[in-house]
Chain A
């Protein structure tokens, strides 16, 4: 890895497309140590020209060397619909204390990550759809391809604000029906739920023809619990307040966190959903690279 781009630094310029392009381009063209040329646009095979094939797809350089017509084929076809589902509940406003100073929270990270994934999808020619979810605001953009559609995705992501809680499945019926078509669904969420509503949503979306990937966003403070002295923790969604002595609860907190993570993972596995944890305080392109690399291995 030659360089890591800090998305927080990029986010200061308040230009989501630039961040997405920078991160994605870096990932697609600059970081690979292998001989792969990218995830979705890599070369697969040549086949002989058949009547009906478009002349534009003929590899003319190969023709010059071999004097035969070959058609260049990519490994992936661009017939996949990529759904980006962003949890916009109030808990997504959480940030580590360091990130908070820089105005960077889970929702910001989710928006930039979604923009990057949309950019990659767009580059591969995939159709990208967007669903932003909170009871205050349901943001829906039907799938589409091309750069102009990608800009529409950007605009929709800009408007996305965190508020209230993750909606229950009754409110989402009309959208989940759209998501049940064959495709790839990315759910970007912290997976904090009041009544199992995120799991219910995933249960509706996940099926044999659909691949669902859950990206759990966590902050450094959640993982390291760096607090000292008495702390009043307040829930972003319920506004419930709990006063604790940080030293006294640290060990128990880690136990509770482990238990929560294991339980969540088990639930998602039972639904056939692949889950990955993302630390929002780490550089986004590094996280994305590791994620897609791991995912590529699984797919292969």
Chain B
């Protein structure tokens, strides 16, 4: 597959009009001579003119090619090598989607891909996809089947991907749940500072109704959900995440929320909201030319340009000679 770095340079393709206009309004089309009987000329013209016309068109073609090659050189065209080998379809399905579709539909979709991957988390489709995006080879085409529920996209933020991802969103089945307005997390002194910082971040950006407290108060009793970290210390998953240096990652807070709320069915917090296709859809990152597997075509284009120029000169001389 071909790509270009400087798309603006493709405006140069307008220059293709130059040889076409020259061809159309070429003064070398011959001077006008009025004759009494055109039939005599017409009878004689057959072979010579056909040959001349062909060489004229060939000349025009070469000139068009020269302008096209110059434009492509300026646009810095390159060749994406892997894609030509054959594309691989990776079907990615979310747990929510699997719950909602019929068995037959499920089988059809799962059978359509070369590789089928089920998203593990219910809440962080974008971040999981970002990992898959890094892992898969360049020739992979992602077909992602998910629902439009906000639940699936509550953690992590949408980023640009290397691959073009085709989203197939299933809508209209947002869960009818009671909205949770207040969540209380009770923590202890021993709790990891990273976790507390992450909870603050979550409160600021994601859950304004989150209350973080060392001791249960009377107000805390009115919460819809209470997480007692003072009684039940950090789960092993959270500990593992921190040990592995996960707290240094920018999306640590989101992942923490993910882990904390899995057991608490925080799904309900967002379940009533949906996202539009535009909000879900991701964009593809533009690929620099020196990236692995991309072959610049400068040399080949330059060689072709020289050959075309030689051919054009030869044809032009030959045509002029024939017309003299």
Contacts and interface: CB of A to CB of B under 8 A. Distances in A.
B44 A249 contact: yes
Question: Which of A91, A230, A253 neighbours the largest number of chain B CB atoms within 10 Å of its CB?
Answer: A230
Contacts, number: 112
B32 A260 contact: no
- Interface size band for B: 20 to 34
B37 A243 contact: no
22 contacts: A92-B36, A93-B34, A94-B35, A222-B36, A227-B33, A228-B324, A231-B30, A231-B33, A232-B32, A234-B33, A234-B35, A235-B37, A235-B38, A236-B34, A236-B36, A242-B42, A242-B45, A244-B41, A244-B48, A244-B49, A251-B44, A256-B39
- Interface size band for A: 35 or more
Interface in A90-106: 91-94, 97, 106
Nearest to B26: A230
Nearest to A89: B36
A-B pairs, top 5 by smallest CB distance, nearest first, are: A248-B48, A230-B30, A91-B36, A252-B44, A235-B38
B274 to A, nearest CB: 68
B278 interface: no
A42 to B, nearest CB: 38
A239 B199 CA distance: 90
B33 A255 contact: no
Nearest to A255: B44
A235 B31 CA distance: 14
A247 interface: yes
Contacts of A52: none
Interface string B9-40: 00000000000000000001111111111111
Contact of A260 (B34, B40, B322, B324): B40
Interface string B283-324: 000000000000000000000000000000000000000111
B194 interface: no
A72 B34 CA distance: 54
A55 B34 CA distance: 60
A91 B41 CA distance: 15
A67 interface: no
B323 A245 contact: yes
A92 B46 CA distance: 26
A233 B322 contact: no
A281 interface: no
A245 B36 contact: no
A226 to B, nearest CB: 11
Interface of A: 91-94, 97, 106, 190, 192, 221-222, 227-238, 240-245, 247-253, 255-257, 260
Nearest to B41: A233
A236 B32 CA distance: 12
Question: Which of B29, B44, B47, B323 neighbours the largest number of chain A CB atoms within 10 Å of its CB?
Answer: B44
A130 B45 CA distance: 39
Interface of B: 28-49, 51-52, 322-324
B291 to A, nearest CB: 52
A107 B33 CA distance: 17
Contacts of A252: 43-48
Contacts of B38: 233-235, 238, 240-242
Given A229-B323, A233-B41, A245 B49 contact: yes
Given A229-B323, A230-B28, A248 B35 contact: no
B295 to A, nearest CB: 45
B36 A248 contact: no
B305 to A, nearest CB: 29
A232 B45 contact: no
Contacts of A227: 33
Contacts of B39: 256, 260
Contacts of B52: 230, 245, 248
Contacts of A97: 33
Nearest to B44: A252
A243 B47 contact: no
B29 A230 contact: yes
Given A93-B36, A243-B29, 9 more contacts: A106-B36, A222-B35, A229-B324, A231-B31, A237-B36, A249-B45, A252-B48, A253-B40, A255-B44
A97 B31 CA distance: 12
B33 A192 contact: no
A247 B28 CA distance: 15
A255 B47 CA distance: 14
Contacts of B46: 252
A221 B29 CA distance: 20
Question: Which of B28, B33, B323 neighbours the largest number of chain A CB atoms within 10 Å of its CB?
Answer: B33
B65 to A, nearest CB: 24
B324 A249 contact: no
A190 B36 contact: yes
Contacts of A192: 36-37
A228 to B, nearest CB: 7
A234 B32 CA distance: 7
Question: Which of B28, B49, B51 neighbours the largest number of chain A CB atoms within 10 Å of its CB?
Answer: B49
A232 B324 contact: no
A92 B37 CA distance: 10
Question: Which of A92, A233, A238 neighbours the largest number of chain B CB atoms within 10 Å of its CB?
Answer: A233
Nearest to B321: A247
Contact of B44 (A94, A222, A232, A253): A253
Contacts of B32: 232, 234
